[in-house]
């Protein structure tokens, strides 16, 4: 460990070793309950990547990143790279207007604002079609809640001039894109991802493709660019489907190849190995032949699984004297004839053209990918980057258990009267010991404490040192729960007061914004 005061405070909850033992199968249900019993399973079973691994490359990371509240991601690296290199990138998230915005939503509001402050093209949407179809809310209720979400987002610092606010029901481009993307997904797929069945409303299904369109929207509203979707891990099924559907619309695929024949990724690794070892077997070392590589691999690759080795060897033997030569291969997946022609034309340097792919010998992978994207967009395609995501931990409810919108004492609404909010903090469960003596002796359990979570997720703001101090004092037995909660309650009251003042300021200016908060829809 380095200097303690400089490092972020310990993470507040969840994903601990003890919890990891529970054998219950984990499912992610976007319309289900909002607890994720074991964050580690998300990495192992769902392939979500650890945020920690790329924290270092994030320029000036947000405190939610530093404190491990943002714990996972899919493919966020291209977004960070764009951010670091001053290239275009986008962020988008959506809110179902089913109740009051609360301190859990604030995490996402803050994440969007952070990306906006770093130069991103940022979108926040009201998922009113989803709320209506999947949750059965009336349009009048939706309007009221939509206004509250928008006001809190603005009060926290979202810049509506630089960014975009929209509601699904009013965004024709999103609905058109949803229709097009719906062509790339079928019922069996929705059935296996979401558990839909014969009883599922058609409009509920439509709200899924609408979300796919939301997720891709920043790339059609402007140009294709790396885009991140900050959400809770319950939304991961949507993110995965969106990544698949976006990929299916692409005209071209870009891969690496070593000879004219096709190879799987595993086979390619073996081919790369043979190419790298060419000095050891090739008669002319700058021109290794496929047959020579076959003979080499047969002996040298004894560590590799038999069927894999055999299939590579066979392909190499069939290719005979053809030289083994690395190249970038651009495959025609969905392109029109004109687009494929244009792509061939656009490839610089040595190339070989086949029926459904072109091999480029002088392009690197990145150049080829960007060329393919440009040609696709010029010929009417979307050229989507696969949307990325970042995931935050859910907050524990103040009464222990999960934070639930239907249990007011379990969460703090951004609309709670400041004194009532403070009282909820005072009444919260803690990680404290039975008596003050025990607390002094053993220290409190900050890791299990919803009040410490409030400090870490919200009340400490950007001040890591303060959060760490609370933690250390707690676990060392220097902090007693009564005082600790009183301090947290004061901070919460001050936060709510200020937040609501800002909301009130924005309330008068809402009419001037581009978003319509009075729907003409009925029921």
Binding partner selected for residue 214 from ligand TRP, ligand SF4, none, CB under the kind-specific 5 to 8 Å limit: ligand TRP
Contacts of 99 (CB under 8 A, 6+ apart): 145, 405
Residues 477-516 that bind ligand SF4 (CB under 6 A): 479, 481, 484-485
Q: Which residues pair with 359 in a beta bridge?
A: 329, 352
Cβ contact 68:7 at 8 Å: no
Least Å distance between CB 208 and ligand TRP? 9
Q: Which of 134, 91, 85 is nearest to 110 (CA)?
A: 91
Cβ contact 518:126 at 8 Å: no
Q: Look up residue 248 and give its two tokens.
A: 């299916």
Of 211-219, 262-270, 354-362, 408-416: span binding ligand TRP (CB under 6 A): 211-219
Q: Which residues pair with 93 in a beta bridge?
A: 124
Binding partner selected for residue 389 from ligand SF4, ligand TRP, none, CB under the kind-specific 5 to 8 Å limit: none
Residues 71-100 that bind ligand TRP (CB under 6 A): 92-96
Of 210-218, 365-373, 411-419, 462-470: span binding ligand TRP (CB under 6 A): 210-218
Q: Look up residue 109 and give its two tokens.
A: 């509001």
Q: Look up residue 521 and give its two tokens.
A: 């829809």
Contacts of 127 (CB under 8 A, 6+ apart): 94, 95, 96, 97, 168, 207, 210, 211, 214
Of 289 and 485, which has the nearer Cβ to ligand SF4?
485
Q: Look up residue 440 and give its two tokens.
A: 């002094």
Cβ contact 62:118 at 8 Å: no
Query: By CB under 6 A, is residue 449 in contact with ligand SF4?
Result: yes
Binding partner selected for residue 30 from ligand SF4, ligand TRP, none, CB under the kind-specific 5 to 8 Å limit: ligand TRP
User: For residue 481, what is the enclosing H or E element?
Assistant: helix 481-507
Query: What is the rounded CA–CA span in Å between residue 1 and residue 156?
Result: 34
**Which of residues 148, 214, 267, 292 is near ligand TRP by CB under 6 A?**
214
**Which of residues 432, 459, 496, 515 is near ligand SF4 by CB under 6 A?**
432
Q: Which of 427, 426, 415, 424 is nearest to 496 (CA)?
A: 415
Least Å distance between CB 453 and ligand SF4? 9
Binding partner selected for residue 231 from ligand SF4, ligand TRP, none, CB under the kind-specific 5 to 8 Å limit: ligand TRP
Query: What is the rounded CA–CA span in Å between residue 141 and residue 132?
Result: 10
Least Å distance between CB 125 and ligand TRP? 6
Residue 152 is classified by DSSP as H
What are the E-state strand segments in 354-486?
A: 357-360, 388-392
Of 171-179, 335-343, 382-390, 447-455: span binding ligand SF4 (CB under 6 A): 447-455
Of 152-160, 230-238, 440-448, 496-504: span binding ligand SF4 (CB under 6 A): 440-448
- Dihedral (C-alpha) 400, 403, 406, 410: value to the nearest 10 degrees? 50
Least Å distance between CB 43 and ligand SF4? 28
Residue whose Cβ sits closest to ligand TRP: 94
Least Å distance between CB 168 and ligand TRP? 7
Least Å distance between CB 143 and ligand TRP? 17
Q: Look up residue 263 and give its two tokens.
A: 């190879």
Query: By CB under 6 A, is residue 229 in contact with ligand TRP?
Result: yes
Least Å distance between CB 388 and ligand TRP? 12
Question: Burial level of 241, CB count in 10 A (0-12/13-18/19+)?
Answer: buried
Binding partner selected for residue 93 from ligand SF4, ligand TRP, none, CB under the kind-specific 5 to 8 Å limit: ligand TRP
Query: By CB under 6 A, is residue 431 in contact with ligand SF4?
Result: yes
Q: What is the contact surface with ligand SF4 in residues (CB under 6 A)?
A: 430-432, 444-446, 449, 451-452, 474, 479, 481, 484-485
Q: What is the contact surface with ligand TRP in residues (CB under 6 A)?
A: 30, 92-96, 125, 127, 130, 211, 214-215, 229, 231, 235
């Amino acid at each position: 460990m380095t200097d303690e005061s400089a490092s972020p405070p310990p993470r507040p909850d969840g994903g601990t070793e003890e919890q990891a033992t529970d054998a219950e199968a984990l499912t992610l249900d976007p319309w289900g309950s909002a607890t994720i019993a074991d964050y580690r399973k998300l990495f192992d079973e769902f392939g979500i990547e650890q945020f920690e691994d790329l924290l270092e490359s994030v320029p000036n990371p947000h405190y939610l990143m530093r404190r491990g509240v943002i714990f996972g991601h899919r493919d966020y690296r291209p977004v960070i790279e764009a951010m670091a290199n001053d290239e275009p990138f986008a962020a988008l998230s959506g809110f179902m207007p089913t109740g009051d915005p609360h301190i859990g939503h604030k995490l996402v509001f803050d994440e969007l604002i952070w990306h906006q402050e770093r130069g991103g093209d940022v979108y926040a949407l009201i998922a009113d079609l989803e709320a209506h179809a999947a949750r059965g809310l009336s349009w009048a209720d939706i309007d009221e809640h939509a206004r509250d979400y928008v006001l809190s987002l603005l009060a926290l610092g979202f810049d509506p001039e630089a960014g975009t606010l929209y509601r699904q029901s009013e965004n024709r481009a999103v609905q058109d894109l949803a229709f097009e993307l719906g062509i790339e997904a079928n019922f069996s797929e929705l059935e296996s991802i979401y558990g839909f069945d014969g009883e599922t409303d058609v409009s509920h299904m439509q709200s899924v493709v609408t979300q796919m369109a939301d997720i891709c929207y920043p790339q059609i509203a402007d140009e294709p660019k790396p885009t991140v979707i900050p959400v809770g891990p319950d939304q991961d099924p949507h993110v995965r489907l969106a990544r698949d559907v976006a990929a299916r619309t692409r005209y071209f695929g870009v891969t690496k190849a070593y000879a004219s024949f096709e190879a799987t990724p595993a086979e390619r690794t073996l081919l790369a190995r043979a190419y790298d070892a060419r000095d050891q077997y090739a008669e002319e070392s700058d021109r290794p032949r496929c047959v020579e590589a076959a003979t080499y691999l047969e002996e040298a690759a004894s560590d590799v699984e038999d069927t894999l080795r055999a299939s590579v060897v066979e392909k190499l033997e069939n290719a005979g004297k053809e030289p083994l030569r690395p190249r970038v291969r651009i495959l025609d997946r969905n392109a029109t004839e004109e687009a494929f022609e244009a792509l061939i034309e656009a490839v610089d340097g040595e190339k070989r053209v086949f029926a459904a792919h072109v091999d480029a010998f002088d392009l690197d992978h990145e150049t080829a990918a960007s060329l393919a994207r440009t040609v696709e967009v010029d010929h009417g395609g979307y050229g989507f980057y696969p949307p990325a995501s970042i995931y935050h931990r859910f907050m524990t409810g103040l009464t222990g258990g999960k934070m639930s919108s239907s249990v007011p004492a379990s969460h703090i609404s951004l609309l709670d009267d400041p004194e009532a909010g403070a009282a909820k903090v005072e009444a919260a469960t803690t990680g404290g010991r039975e008596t003050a003596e025990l607390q002094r002796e053993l220290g409190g359990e900050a890791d299990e404490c919803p009040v410490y979570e409030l400090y870490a997720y919200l009340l400490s703001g950007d001040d890591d040192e303060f959060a760490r101090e609370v933690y250390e004092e707690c676990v060392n037995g220097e902090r007693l729960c009564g005082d600790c909660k009183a301090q947290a309650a004061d901070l919460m009251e001050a936060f709510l007061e200020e937040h609501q003042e800002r909301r009130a300021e924005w309330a008068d200016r809402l009419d001037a914004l581009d978003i319509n908060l009075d729907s003409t829809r009925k029921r």
